[in-house]
Structure 1
Amino acid sequence: MRIAVSGTHRAGKSTLIDELSDLLPAYVTVEEPYHQLEEEGYDFAAPPSVEDFEAQLARSIADLDEGPRDVLFDRCPVDFIGYLLAHEDRDAFDLDAWLPRVRNALRTLDLIVLVGIEQPDRIALSSSEDEALRLSVDEKMKELLLEDPYALGVVVLEVEGSSRARAKQVLEHLGSL
């Protein structure tokens, strides 16, 4: 199966992927586009610009086009759409131009696991983190994936609880297929 783990920053995605990697040893893990681009020398603005998020969106689409069969993706194109729609310069992002490519890429996924911010929040944030952006992206991601206003047509499993509980929910979902 091809599974993407999605959500805002500091929600527990990477921790869940680590847990799932241990439980699904035959699966390949694909690092999130930010880290891939950074390793290649891409210079991100601080905070990231619309162009930076579009570069990550393009890489995420390419990753889905090239990935193996049993794979865990850290993020998918919907993550970057969430960030772009929450960005202060969101008017510079042309979602309609990207949607055909995003829909085609998402068709290659069997499941998107949505890791949202829980109440109370399980993740402690440093004072330097932009909590408003994190909450806005979480809201956008839930809207995009659970309400599906752009007819993305993806199967979504929203998980909650500890990383072990989240992994168990994913495994139970996979077992039910």
Structure 2
Amino acid sequence: MRIAFSGTHRVGKTTLVEELSDLLPSYTTVEEPYLELEEEGYEFASPPSVEDFEAQLARSIDHLSDTDTGPEVLFDRCPVDFIGYLQAHEDAESFDLDSWLPRVRTALQSLDLIVWVGIEQPDRIALSASEDEDFRLAVDEQLRALLLDDPHALGVEVLVVEGSPRARAKQVLQHVSSHKP
């Protein structure tokens, strides 16, 4: 299965991907676009600008479109994440979602599943004083609507996971094993 992990920052996506990469050794792992772009020398604004999120969105689309990754892949983030960030951004009105939707839909068709990791109550991850909690909550709300309500007919199956990293991994493994041919 080609599986993407979605959620706002500091909810445990990467931890879950790392846990699953150990449990599913035949799977390839694709790191999140932010880290790749940063390693390549891309300089992000602080906080990231609309252009920064669009660069990550484009990279995420490229990841999903890359057929060389094979049929068993764990993607840390997917295009929907960046749409959520862009819609929650203070300059959201400068983001033209309609111009991106055809590419996003096409890329998402290569996925079998999106695993959504939302903010839990109580929150499992402590934030530093410098982190914008309101923005994080706004992104979480946007992603919840985009993935669970599917207002843009993205048409991808979504698995919501909760609990400890081990419990989340178990939920994903159960889903994967129930969908084997």
Equivalent in the alignment of 1:56: 56
2:33 counterpart letter in structure 1: P
Q: Deviations along 1:76-101, whole A, 9 cap, x unmatched?
A: 00000000000000000000000000
Question: Match of 1:37?
Answer: 37
- 1:69, distance to aligned residue in structure 2 (A): 1.5
- The aligned counterpart of 2:46 is 46
Could you tell me which runs of 5 or more consecutive residues in structure 2 were left unpaired when the two chains were aligned. Answer: none
Please, what is the CA RMSD of the aligned residues?
Answer: 0.5
- Mapping of residues 15-94 of structure 1, within 5 Å: 15-66=15-66, 67-94=69-96
TM-score normalized by structure 2? 0.97
Equivalent position SS for 2:38: helix
Structure 1 runs, 4 residues or longer, greater than 3 Å off: none
Structure 1 residue runs without a partner (length 5+): none
Instruction: Tell me the secondary structure at the aligned position of residue 168 of structure 1.
Output: helix
**2:137 is the alignment partner of 1:135:** yes
The one-letter code matched in structure 1 to 2:26 is A
**Cα distance in 2 for residues equivalent to 1:17 and 1:174:** 14
Structure 2 residue 119 is the aligned partner of structure 1 residue 112: no
For this pair of structures, how many residues does the alignment match? Answer: 177
Residue 152 (str. 1) matches residue 162 (str. 2): no
How much does 1:68 deviate?
A: 2.2
Q: TM-score, structure 1 length as denominator?
A: 0.99
CA distance in 1, matches of 2:178, 2:79: 26
CA distance in structure 1 between the partners assigned to 2:94 and 2:46 by the alignment: 18
Which stretch of structure 1 is more off in the superposition, 92-101 or 67-76? Answer: 67-76
